[in-house]
Amino acid sequence: MIFAEQEHKDGARANRRAAGIRIIANPGSAQAFQDHLEALDLLRHVAINEHADATSFALNDEQMLAWIPGFDTTKLSATLKLDSFGSAQDFERETLLAMLAAPRSFDFPNYDELAAALRIRRNIAWAAYRTQLAFGTSAAERPSEYWTYDEDTSFTILPGKSLVTALKTATQPDVSGKLYSFSCYRATEYVILLGIAEELAEHNPPLYQALSRRWERRAIMSGLFHEVFLREYGSLAEPIPPAYYVPGDRVWFRNPDAYSSDVSGFEGSWVFYMGGGLFSNFWNRQHFTMQTKCVEIFHWRDGVYTDANGDLRMNEDIVAERAHATLADPEKCARVMAAMMKLRDGPGIYEDGGCIDASREFPLQVCPGTAEIRIPEA
């Protein structure tokens, strides 16, 4: 799938029309998607344009203004009174409406890939909602009945064990009955991997088997994980609007304070947008809104201290206390949000930027015949 640049001539980014979703040169798939929109009672709100090389679907101007002004998708569920965490159909409505409002088009080669992308976003958002972990930047652990560890290969699953079950057991205490230690970045990899694996197990078993065999030999992590599984859309040169998120997006909130960003684990915060105006919180079940996430990160600067070994640490009780006070003071909260909702500065720069990243991340195509994921053999 390609997150394609879509330029318009109607003014500033916040006033642009939606570019939405495009299905490339596949009339049958375009009709299947149209039928799906009709089944969800969304078709009447969508502008459809046929081009020589694609059919485009975008939320119409009236609904953009009423439901997603300035590309702010975080209030969409509340505006339409969707039960995104209680109803699979409402979750899909919210996800599709956010994608139909995209400032640059999401492109798919066929309806199967679009349907798979929707399912994976649901899998990721719901896994993120259920994930709860013990915070650890150096120590890490996994359930021994599914996982083993080696310095050269990291955590791998035991031969014959289900990758899906192993990932759920490591990340979801409702399944395991225990909290396991993770860094927030590694945790996001497990949630994404689970979302992809659940889709592959049902709709592309050969690729699922290849993925499982790889995880029996060696974990895919960090830069290689991003390269193998993810597409990044947006950049500092062409940023995504600050409040535009699609359920299932992986998101980074940067700590804009230079001093507190030197505390290990507090350089920023990797989370998922889960829909319903909520961002994931892996450390307890009090999930974040945009406001509570920004205010918490702002007050990291107040919680820094130096321990007996001379290392910088974070007093999270102080952070929570200061954040609570700010959230109770509308004027101060407005000032903090104005500062934090700015686009982040570039790497190594701590000047006037806020915590909002320019990009979002989501998985590559996965269907037989059009899958973009290639599992490394080594």
pLDDT digits (tens), the chain, 378 positions: 443 433 333 333 444 689 999 999 888 999 999 999 999 999 999 999 999 899 999 999 999 999 999 999 999 999 999 999 999 999 999 999 999 999 999 999 999 999 999 999 999 999 999 999 987 656 678 999 999 999 999 999 999 999 999 999 999 999 999 999 888 899 999 999 999 999 999 999 999 999 999 999 999 999 999 999 999 999 999 999 999 999 999 999 999 999 999 998 899 999 999 999 999 999 888 899 999 999 999 999 999 999 999 999 999 999 999 999 999 999 999 999 999 999 999 999 999 999 999 999 999 999 999 999 999 986
Please tell me the distance from the alpha carbon of residue 364 to that of residue 230, in angstroms, as a whole number.
5
For residues 54 and 138, membership in a common domain is answered with no
The Cβ of residue 117 has, within 10 Å, a number of other Cβ atoms equal to 25
Residues 105 and 141 grouped into a single domain: no
Closest C-alpha to 303, from 292, 294, 312, 293: 312
Q: Are 261 and 222 members of one domain?
A: no
- Among candidate residues 204, 208, 197, the one with its CA nearest the CA of residue 168: 197
Q: Rounded to whole angstroms, how far apart are CA atoms 342 and 219?
A: 36
Q: How many domains does the chain have?
A: 3
- pLDDT given at position 17: 84
Q: What are phi and psi of 275, to 5 degrees?
A: 95, 170
Same domain, 145 and 190: yes
Same domain, 273 and 309: yes
Is residue 147 included in any domain, yes or no? yes
Q: Does residue 137 lie within any of the structural domains?
A: yes
To 10 degrees, what angle do helices 330-340 and 316-327 make?
110
Q: How many Cβ atoms sit within 10 Å of the Cβ of residue 5?
A: 11
Report whether 188 contacts 270 (CB < 8 A).
Answer: yes
pLDDT at residue number 139: 66
In a domain, 220, yes or no: yes
Quick check: is 199 in a domain?
yes
Query: What Cα–Cα distance (Å) separates residue 51 from each residue in 5, 10, 108, 295?
Result: 16, 20, 14, 45
The pLDDT value given to residue 138? 61
For residues 255 and 228, membership in a common domain is answered with: no
What does the pLDDT read at residue 79? 97
- At 309 the pLDDT is 92
- Same structural domain, 157 and 214: yes
**339 and 276 belong to one structural domain:** yes
Q: How many CB atoms lie within 10 A of CB 105?
A: 21
Phi, psi dihedral angles at 233 (to 5 degrees): -125, 135
Q: What one-character-per-residue DSSP string does 51-76 give?
A: -SSEEEEEE-HHHHHHHSGGG--TTH
Per-residue model confidence as pLDDT tens digits over 201-224: 999 999 999 999 999 999 999 999
Query: Is 158 domain-assigned?
Result: yes
pLDDT at 137: 58
Main-chain dihedrals φ then ψ at residue 237, nearest 5 degrees: -75, -35
Residue 124 domain flag:
no
Residues 33 and 104 grouped into a single domain: yes
Kindly state whether residues 97 and 6 are assigned to the same domain: yes
Residues 290 and 191 in one domain: no
CB 82 within 8 A of CB 73: no
The verdict on residue 239 lying in a domain is no
The rounded distance, in Å, linking the Cα atoms of 230 and 274 is 17
Whether residue 227 is found in the same domain as residue 159: yes
CA 78 from centre of chain: 19
Domain that holds residue 136: 131-233
Q: Is residue 117 part of a domain?
A: no
